[in-house]
Amino acid sequence: MLRGFSHVLNSSRLKPGDLQLEIADIFLAFGGVQALSGVSLQVCQSEIAAIIGPNGAGKTSLLNCVSGLYHPQEGSIQFHNGRTHELTHCKPYEIAKLGIARSFQNIELFKHMTVLDNLMLGRHIHLKSNVFTGGFYWGRAQREEVENRQFLEDIIDLLEIEAIRKQAVGTLSYGLQKRVELGRALALQPSLLILDEPMAGMNSEEKEDMARFVLDVNEEHGVTIIIIEHDMGVVMDISDHIAVLDFGLKIGDGTPDEVQRDPAVIKAYLGEEHGAS
């Protein structure tokens, strides 16, 4: 059991179904290119929310606004965890400290480092010791490292990566590297986890494993998840609600069943045959 997760959720004072993330009328442009045009989205505690749409629809741009990599020109992004935090002008490390973690579409691991070392980097915001305190209070720094390593052991067990913990990440298969990146995001101890195409490039067996891990994190530990994924079978199976983007506009938002029946979504993305089934 990931003992730290429940602590984060208790400190946020949110109950399942409480509003956790509120995106309101976001506009984002790069020169003359309008990436997002008035996009709004609400995500509640303990749900899995999927964002789908064609390539170039603005999905990753929206997540980059939430995680602080982009700053929208207009609109508001509010994160609720007992207090309300406006995220639109926050830096990524400030957002991480609030309990928002993410993985990336392209793997962003340190490939020369071991799996365990990459996971340990995900604990950086929870480390209180530095060079000074580590030199003068060696026992305290050692206890802190032991506690953080114990937390990582829970993640290693959850993701079933015990056998590769000491291997350099660069020697691993693509699917296992994706699993390690998920583990590093979990090491941040998030209450909101953002996953950008976590199953891209995987075979069917690897996708099944990743979907199981995502469901375990959500159902057993109450972590809210926002996911971008192109595999519609996975999206429809695991999502509580789905938002659909097309050319920077939100054209659909609802349960998987509602989205599959939405004529605008069928026309723009799912296709007539899929929507009619």
Quote the CA–CA distance of 252 and 265 in Å, as a whole number.
6
Residues of the chain below pLDDT 70: 1-12, 124-146, 269-277
Q: What is the pLDDT of residue 109?
A: 85
Assigned token pair, 262: 């939405």
Quote the CA–CA distance of 58 and 55 in Å, as a whole number.
8
Q: What is the pLDDT of residue 170?
A: 92
Helix intervals (H) in the chain: 3-12, 59-66, 92-97, 115-121, 131-136, 138-159, 174-187, 204-221, 232-238, 256-261, 263-265, 272-276
Domains of the chain listed by start with CATH number: 3-276 (3.40.50.300)
Give yes or no for a contact between 21 and 51, defined as CB atoms under 8 angstroms apart.
Answer: no
Quote the CA–CA distance of 191 and 29 in Å, as a whole number.
29
Q: What is the pLDDT of residue 1?
A: 45
Q: What is the pLDDT of residue 10?
A: 38
Quote the CA–CA distance of 81 and 191 in Å, as a whole number.
9
Q: What is the pLDDT of residue 149?
A: 76
Q: What is the pLDDT of residues 43-74, one digit of tens each?
A: 999 999 999 998 889 999 999 999 999 999 99
Quote the CA–CA distance of 231 and 24 in Å, as a whole number.
27
